[in-house]
Structure formats: structure tokens, C-alpha cells
Structure 1
């Protein structure tokens, strides 16, 4: 593998993994807040929720604009996670092809 492309692909894979975890944590935290399991008046919960919202909302908002309105069901995180998985597989295959 090339000297530059190997580490770049590795960094991109790590970043995609971290972003997927941020999306999952944001979804789980929003469920926990909705079912009153955790309270956002707790400073730590608020900070984690705010970080997840700010990190994921720009992309999720764009995905929501293309998806039909399903009432109270928001499937944009599922679409985003599937896109991340597709992108990771693409990068892995690209790395194998380059090597």
C-alpha cells in the first residue's frame, strides 16, 4: 500500500467508527430521555446529549429532508448508519485493491 493512502484510509475508518458510535449514543440517549430514564437537568447527560445532537444533526437533517414523513418514527439514524457501513466496506475494499 502506498505510504500516504494506508494511514489515510486507516484514519478515515477510525473516524467513521467513532461517528457511528456517536450516532448510536445519541439515539440511545434520546430514547432514555424520552422514557424518563435519565434527566437532562443532569449536567453530564445534557453535555453528552448536546454533543451528540450537534455532531449528528447537520447530516441527519439532510437525510430527513429526503425521507418521507413517517409520523413519530425517525429512520434517519438507520439510513446514516447504513451509509457509514457502506462507506467503511468501500474503504476496506479500496485498501485491499491498492495493497
Structure 2
């Protein structure tokens, strides 16, 4: 029975995590005003549209922020965490605590998207600087709003752009000392903290 529960948790985490990634990506795409004609953007749009369309009818955007996709991301994270706890321990946590964990999880994924987009952007800039690959273009569109203010502060050294290094440090500090600290302070169980 334990083996079946473990397999079910794995499947829920993989497919729930993949859908959650698409929802968070959809939120970020609107936040950074990315090109929605990019084929990778279209994947996120098509996968999330069935649930977002009805949500948007009742939850309007606030200040240009797509609150419907942000709420959907929190709900998906909440469902994945609840099912993980239910199948692992046979119980679900306090609803308020679960909601806090879901928000922490979405924030952690938000940082991871930027982290890996920057890794892709840096690698492509070294290997194929003028690439028109959809993944490379999307990575540039995701990272540019974060890197542009840093470039104004940090001068280039010998033609080398140091802003991605500073951005990596900022993301790592936020992940370790804000997200990690919040997870500890809210007594997030190990089976949940592995999700973030």
C-alpha cells in the first residue's frame, strides 16, 4: 500500500508541478510583456486557458497584474501539497498554514523560473549569441526586465556584462534567506519543502 501511495505522490508531484510551472510561466509572461506568438508561450497559453478563461470572468487584473493566473497558481500548488500530505501522512494541514505554504511554494517557483531562464540566456549568449531559437528569445524576454535596472547600476568590465552574476546572487539570497526562512518559520514538513 505504501508503494502505491509513493507512486501516486510521485505522479501528482510531476504532473501537478508541470502544470503549476505552466501557470506561473503564464503569469510571468504577462508580467514581463513577453511575445505571446513565441511557440513556447503558446504552449503555456493553450494549457492554462481552459481554467483561466472562467477565472478571468470573476477575477479582474489589478494594476496590469494577471491576478487570475496568480490565484490559479496558488490553488494548483495548494492541491498538489494537500494531496501529497494526504497520501503521505493521511492528513491535511491547517487550511491557513496550507495556504501560506502554497504561497511560499509559488514564490519559490517564481524565482526558479528566472534562475533557469538566466542560465539559458547566459549559455546561449556564449554559444550562439545571435540565435533566434524560441527558448533563447523567451529567456531573454523573461530576464531583460530584471537585468535592465542592474545594468544601469553595474558598469560592464571589458565588454563583460556582470548584471546576470548580480541577479544570480540576488535570487540565491532570496531563495535561501527569505523562502527558506519562511518555510522553516511556518514548520513546513520535509515532504512539502522538497516541492519547493
- Where has structure 1 moved over 6 Å in runs of 4 or more? none
Partners of 2:141 and 2:116 lie apart in 1 by 14
Answering whether residue 110 of structure 2 is matched by residue 15 of structure 1, we say: yes
Deviation at 1:4, TM superposition (A): 1.2
Give the CA deviation at 1:55. 0.7
Equivalences for residues 1-99 of structure 1 within 5 A: 2-34=97-129, 40=131, 45-89=132-176, 90-99=178-187
Does the aligned pair in 1 maintain the 2:115–2:168 contact within 8 Å?
yes
Larger Rg: 2
The offset of 1:17, in angstroms, is 1.4
Quote how far apart the aligned CAs of 1:3 are. Answer: 2.3
TM-score (norm 1): 0.82
For the residues of structure 1 that align with 2:175 and 2:156, how far apart are their CA atoms? 28
Greater relative contact order (CA < 8 Å, ≥ 6 in sequence): 1
Q: Which runs of 5+ in 2 are unaligned?
A: 1-93, 188-196
Over the residues paired in the alignment, what is the CA RMSD in angstroms?
Answer: 1.7
Compute the displacement of 1:57 (Å): 0.7
The offset of 1:15, in angstroms, is 2.0
CA separation in 2, counterparts of 1:5 and 1:28?
A: 35
Report deviation, 1:18: 2.0
How many angstroms does 1:71 deviate by? Answer: 3.1
Task: Please list every run of 5 or more consecutive structure 1 residues that lacks an aligned counterpart in the other structure.
Answer: none
